[in-house]
Amino acid sequence: MTAAQRRALNELWPKYGVGYAPAPLNLEDLFGREAPRVLEIGFGNGDALVAQAGQNPDLDFLGIEVHEPGIGHCLLEANRQGVENLRLIQHDAVDVIRDQIPNGSLRSINLFYPDPWPKKRHHKRRLVQPEFMALVTASLEPGGCLHTVTDWPDYAEHIASVVDNNPLMVPISMPQPQRLRTRFEARGEALGHDRYEQVYQRMLNVPNAGEKEYK
């Protein structure tokens, strides 16, 4: 971690940071307004997240990451660009989505280049699992979308099969919104990797389905 990132964690966290606690957040209070919300899971260094937030002032963005230097970098960029519609949580995404994100509160969830855990014996460490997909589904508003990108064909197939077993989520084809390449995307492209990009939508009009229970 650079000295500037360390300083950002101390000085900018009060402005952008949200602590983890096992209780649902009041997202309206958190952002000071009611607006459609986008969650990015594992934002890395946050360059793409900050760019998206800056380009979409009518949306509110929440980023989850565990890697401190990445969070420090993201804080520096958000502050440098004067982005106001962004909040960050430093904690495991499964806990956050299960405990802090209210049911039906998100317009979309972005999962860009999740750690692929390529070895078969490590597949169980992959973030996308049936339980994770159930939490994601419950957090989306009806009609909301999960947007995934990976450069591992095997992980793309894994995600598709997990979604296939979730009766509330359906794959859709839609024009991809303009977005900045993430750091891992640029790295994969430089290595000649293909990109597997998929959008899944939470079905409309399924009342009281897919809700998480809070402890």
Ligand X SMILES: C[S@@+](CC[C@H](N)C(=O)[O-])C[C@H]1O[C@@H](n2cnc3c(N)ncnc32)[C@H](O)[C@@H]1O
Give the residue numbers marked as catalytic.
115
Kindly state the smallest distance separating residue 152's Cβ from ligand X, in Å.
10
Helix axes 68-80, 47-55, angle to 10 degrees: 30
* Closest distance to ligand X from the beta carbon of 42 (Å): 3
Structure tokens at 49: 């997240």
Least distance to ligand X, CB of residue 65, Å: 5
Answer for the pair 71, 90: CB distance below 8 angstroms, yes or no: yes
Residue 12 or 127: the one with the smaller Cβ distance to ligand X is 127
DSSP, res 146 = E
Closest approach, Cβ 179 to ligand X, in A, equals 11
What SS3 class is residue 204? coil
Tokens linked to 212: 């998480």
Nearer residue to ligand X within complex by CB, 143 or 153: 153
d(CA 189, CA 183): 10
Q: Directed axis angle between helix 153-164 and helix 130-139, to 10°? A: 70
Identify which of residues 58 and 124 has a Cβ nearer to ligand X in the complex: 124
- Closest separation in Å from C-beta 61 to ligand X: 14
DSSP tally for the chain: helices H, then strands E? 9, 8
Q: In the complex, which residue's CB is closest to ligand X?
A: 42
- Which ranges in the chain belong to alpha helices (H)? 3-11, 13-16, 27-31, 47-55, 68-80, 93-99, 130-139, 153-164, 183-190
Q: What is the dihedral of CA 124, 130, 135, 136, to 10 degrees?
A: 90
Which residues of the shown chain bind ligand X in the complex (CB under 6 A)? Answer: 42-44, 64-67, 70, 92-94, 112-115, 127, 182-185
